Structure 1
Amino acid sequence: MSQQSETLQLFLSHRPELLRQANRITRDRAQAEDVLQEAWLRFRAVLAERQMDEPLGYLSRIVRNLALDSARRSGLENRLFQNEGDADLLQVPSEAPSQEAAVISESELRVVEHALALMPERMRVAVRMHRIEGFKLKDIAEHLAISVTSAHGLVAEGVARCRTALRDRL
Structure 2
Amino acid sequence: MADPSTQLEVFLGVRRELVSYASTITGDRAQAEDIVQEAWIRFTPAAAVEQPVAYLYRIVRNLALDLKRSRSREQARQATAPAWLQPGLGADPADNCQHSMLLDRLNTALQALPEASRQALEMHRFGGCTLAQIAERLGVSLSTAHRLLRDALARLAEEVEEPDVGGGSHEA
Q: TM-score under structure 2 normalisation?
A: 0.51
Q: 1:34, 1:59 → 2: CA distance?
A: 14
Hey, what does 2:88 align to over in structure 1?
86
Who wins on radius of gyration, i.e. which is larger? 1
Pair 1:55 & 2:32 matched:
no
Task: Specify which structure has the higher proportion of helix.
Answer: 1
Hey, what does 1:76 align to over in structure 2?
73
Q: Please report how far the alpha carbon of residue 39 of structure 1 lies from its aligned counterpart in structure 2 after TM superposition.
A: 0.6
Q: Please report how far the alpha carbon of residue 77 of structure 1 lies from its aligned counterpart in structure 2 after TM superposition.
A: 1.5
- Same amino acid, percent of matched pairs: 36
- For structure 1, the 5+ residue unaligned runs are 113-158
Q: TM-score under structure 1 normalisation?
A: 0.51
Query: Deviations for 1:30-49, whole angstroms, at most 9, x for unmatched residues?
Result: 21111111111111111xxx
Provide the secondary structure at the position in 2 that maps to 1:52: coil
Change (3 A) 1:77 1:98: farther
Misfit runs of 4+, over 2 Å: 96-99, 166-170
Paired amino acid for 1:41: I
Q: Please report how far the alpha carbon of residue 168 of structure 1 lies from its aligned counterpart in structure 2 after TM superposition.
A: 9.5
Q: 1:31, 1:75 → 2: CA distance?
A: 15
Hey, what does 2:33 align to over in structure 1?
33
**RMSD over equivalenced CA pairs, Å:** 4.1
Hey, what does 2:9 align to over in structure 1?
9
Paired amino acid for 2:31: Q
Hey, what does 1:21 align to over in structure 2?
21
Q: Please report how far the alpha carbon of residue 78 of structure 1 lies from its aligned counterpart in structure 2 after TM superposition.
A: 2.1
Q: 2:25, 2:105 → 1: CA distance?
A: 49
Q: Please report how far the alpha carbon of residue 167 of structure 1 lies from its aligned counterpart in structure 2 after TM superposition.
A: 2.3
